[in-house]
């Protein structure tokens, strides 16, 4: 009697959203809570945002190009906007990577407050800029 080989289920890779969920949980402290909050604000500002997982463990939010990344460090979170130097920032959210020609970042430390309205406006401006560059 000849037996057919049984199908072996391939392990399913976790989606970017699942990996970001895991990162939030792994952090477990204020950084995880803040990353979850920031993620929620990004999704509110752009319901069509695409979550990605790049560079061996960096959450990335995109819409017609990268909007921003969310790196976690021991003492702070860094939100790096790929085209931040081209974005209006009337509320002065950018506080890091200010010398570059392209990127700008927001470093968030424990107990820092986020201006949610200004942050969502910044996300909206980043999406608008990405969309304008794809229409050329």
CATH of the domain at 53: 3.90.1150.200
Domain count, the chain: 1
Could you report the per-residue pLDDT of 86-98, keeping only the tens digit for each? 999 999 999 998 8
Question: Is 11 a domain residue?
Answer: no
The Cα-based distances of 73 to 26, 70, 77 in angstroms read 13, 10, 6
Question: What residues make up the domain containing 29?
Answer: 16-134
Nearest C-alpha neighbor of 121 from the set 85, 90, 77? 90
Residue 3 falls inside a structural domain = no
Using one digit for the tens of pLDDT, what is the confidence trace for 29-49?
A: 999 999 999 999 999 999 999
**Structure confidence at residue 9 (pLDDT):** 45
Handedness of CA 134, 70, 86, 128 (dihedral sign): positive
Q: CA angle, 60 as apex, 58 and 66 as ends, to 5°?
A: 135
Structure tokens given for 119: 């942050």
The percentage of residues in the chain with a pLDDT greater than 70, rounded to a whole number, is: 90
Residues contacting residue 117 through CB under 8 Å, at least 6 positions apart:
none
């Amino acid at each position: 009697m000849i037996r057919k080989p049984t199908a072996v289920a391939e392990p399913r890779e976790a989606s970017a959203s699942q990996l970001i969920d895991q990162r939030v949980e792994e952090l477990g402290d204020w950084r995880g809570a803040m990353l979850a909050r920031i993620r929620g604000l990004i999704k509110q500002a752009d319901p069509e945002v695409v979550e990605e997982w790049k560079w061996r463990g960096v959450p990335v939010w995109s819409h017609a190009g990268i909007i921003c990344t969310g790196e976690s460090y021991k003492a702070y979170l860094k939100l790096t906007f790929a085209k931040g130097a081209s974005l209006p920032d009337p509320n002065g959210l950018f506080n890091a990577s200010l010398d570059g020609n392209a990127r700008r970042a927001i470093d968030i430390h424990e107990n820092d407050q986020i201006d949610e309205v200004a942050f969502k406006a910044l996300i909206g401006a980043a999406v608008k800029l990405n969309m304008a560059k794809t229409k050329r």
